[in-house]
Amino acid sequence: MRQRQGSLASNPVLIGAATVLVVMVGVFLAYNANSGLPFVPTYNLKVELPNAANLVVGNDVRIGGTRVGTVQDISTKQYENGRTTAILDLKLETTVDPLPKDSTVIVRPRSALGLKYVSIQKGTSSEGWESGATLPLSAATPQPVELDEVLNTFDEPTREAGQVNIKNFGDALAGRGAALNRTIEQLNPLLEDLVPVMRNLAEPETGLGQLVRALQQTAAEVAPVAEQQASLFGNLDTTFAALAEVAPDIQLATERTPAALDTAIASFRVQRPFLRDSERLFTALQPASQALRASAADLANTVEVGLPVLERTPAFNEELTTTLTALERFSDDPSTDLGLRGLNTLVQILAPTLADVTPAQTVCNYAGMLARNVAMLFSVGDGNGTFARANLKAPVPGPNSTSGPASAPAAGGGPQAASNFLHANPYPNTAQPGVPQECEAGREPYAANQVVIGNPPGNQGTATDRTIRRAP
């Protein structure tokens, strides 16, 4: 008798070896996924930048916000004059080939935590870079501004001046809510008249610069006789008694006018774009000024409540340095990118659900009403006790009533026939997308002597009870 030969499937050694091989291949592919899968053709370029700006190997390369490759390697290049630049090796998809030669490159932040990516702005040139070419330093434009450079502008003198300004602004606004309301109310006609005036002043044909220079020359002529002018105002005290007290101020203003006019001549030229933007801003603010009238009292309360908070801000700013340092370490952690990707996926999954559920609160205020009603259930009542204890109702007797099993919806009959009608709305409209915009739950009208199952006819509107009482 011939013995049967064993199959490969019955050999545990071969099965184990094949399993280990498959796992190793899977781990290898997963480890190299960010830098590109093996055996996949790529379009390789090098880019010279002033500095790497905290880039790390594996960061994305994007065109128009779409990921087209990764940073394969980062090296440096030193010139004879001692200047050092960064050289990036980019592994791009072949769909980018060839990249136009007038394209530009800039390092941009991907998040506030310090994650960066390389952004390529494709040009329009008919000539393209061949694979392996190096984009020159001139293609790295415009110069990026780092977050730490912005934060470094807030040095100690600037922070101290900011504290003083914030405190003085708070002191200036405290207790002046009514005056601010009147000012805002009167701004509308002022702005309407100010728009054409500012437009005319911004035009070169008005000769505003010549006027200022003429005023400068006039002030320069008057400055040497400032003391005589002050004496003149003193001698006219009998006739102009009201002007006697301001004579020293007029003298001081006259002495300092030439320097002020020099500054005005230099600054007005720069202010013209600002004046044009201010004209458009004030025009756009006219509807908002009308709307602010109804919110003036709330704004005044906000200022009064916010002043104590602003006084505690300096201590918070000092502690913020430690927080930002920790955030920088957190952003440099390679695992942060994976966590943010997972968080982004979670937000994308939750977005449809939140979009469907959010109107139930933002439009209908159901969460607030639920909290209020639960509190009232155990705190409000009558002589028999709270509603949770005393507000119990027995079911209406009759055919198919809620007092027991039913074979059909209750449709009258019994000793209380007029009340024995089923009214059920299992899926009320709560202003979510795709349904009538109404807050139907809890507001369904009662239809006497008829069965109503589902949404009642008509739109019940979106007005619900307020659950937050405004402070007196």
What are the pLDDT digits (tens) for 118-152? 888 888 888 888 888 888 888 887 777 666 677 77
The whole-angstrom separation of Cα 99 and Cα 138 is 15
Q: What is the pLDDT of residue 236?
A: 67
Q: Spell 416-440 as b/e; 16+ CB within 10 A means b.
A: eeeebbbeeeeebbbbbeeeeebbb
Give the pLDDT of residue 28: 56
Q: Is residue 171 domain-shared with residue 90, that is, in the same domain? A: no
Residue 68, judged by CB atoms within 10 A of its CB (0-12, 13-18, 19+), counts as: buried
One-letter-per-residue 3-state SS of 360-405:
HHHCCCHHHHHHHHHHHHCCCEECCEEHHHHCCCCCCCCCCCCCCC
Asked whether residue 78 falls in the same domain as residue 220, the answer is: no
Same domain as 202, residue 68: no
Number of other residues whose CB lies within 10 A of the CB of residue 322: 9
Residues of the chain short of pLDDT 70, as ranges, are: 1-18, 20-23, 25-40, 112-114, 145-148, 233-234, 236-244, 383-385, 387-394, 466-472
Count of structural domains, the chain: 3
In a domain, 9, yes or no: no
Asked whether residue 66 is domain-assigned, the answer is: yes
| Tokens (6 digits) for 84 | 């050092």
Separation in Å, CA 455 to CA 25, 36, 230, 412, 463: 58, 55, 85, 20, 17
Q: What is the DSSP letter of 421?
A: B
Domain membership flag for residue 268:
yes
**Residue 37 pLDDT:** 47
Last residue of a domain, one of 146, 166, 188: 146
Distance from CA of residue 367 to its chain's centroid?
25
59 and 116 inside one domain: yes
pLDDT of residue 470: 42
Q: Is 208 found in the same domain as 62?
A: no
Structure tokens at 376: 């009232």
233 within a domain of the structure (yes/no): yes
Query: What's the pLDDT at 389?
Result: 60
Kindly state whether residues 140 and 177 are assigned to the same domain: no
d(CA 414, CA 298) in angstroms, rounded, equals: 56
Identify the sign of the CA torsion 319, 324, 329, 330.
Answer: positive
Question: pTM of the prediction?
Answer: 0.31
**Is 82 within a domain?**
yes
In a domain, 13, yes or no: no
Helix axes 208-222, 247-311, angle to 10 degrees: 120
Query: How buried is 45 (Cβ within 10 angstroms: 0-12 exposed, 13-18 middle, 19+ buried)?
Result: buried
What is the Cα–Cα distance from 134 to 357, expressed in whole angstroms? 52
Q: Are residues 276 and 330 in the same domain?
A: no
Q: Do 166 and 297 reside in the same domain of the chain?
A: yes
What token pair was written down for 148? 């730490």
Are 231 and 174 in a shared domain? yes
Query: Within this chain, do residues 168 and 294 fall inside the same structural domain, yes or no?
Result: yes
382 domain-assigned:
no
CA distance 120 to 210: 47
Q: How high does pLDDT run on average in the chain?
A: 79
Choosing from 146, 165, 198, the residue where a domain stops is 146
Closest CA to 90 of 101, 105, 77, 80: 105
| Alpha carbons 388 and 263: distance in angstroms, whole number | 75
- Is residue 374 assigned to a domain? no
Q: Are 455 and 425 in contact, with CB atoms under 8 Å apart?
A: yes
**Residue 277 shares a structural domain with residue 164:** yes
Structural domain boundaries, residue 53: 43-146
Residues 215 and 171 both lie in one domain = yes
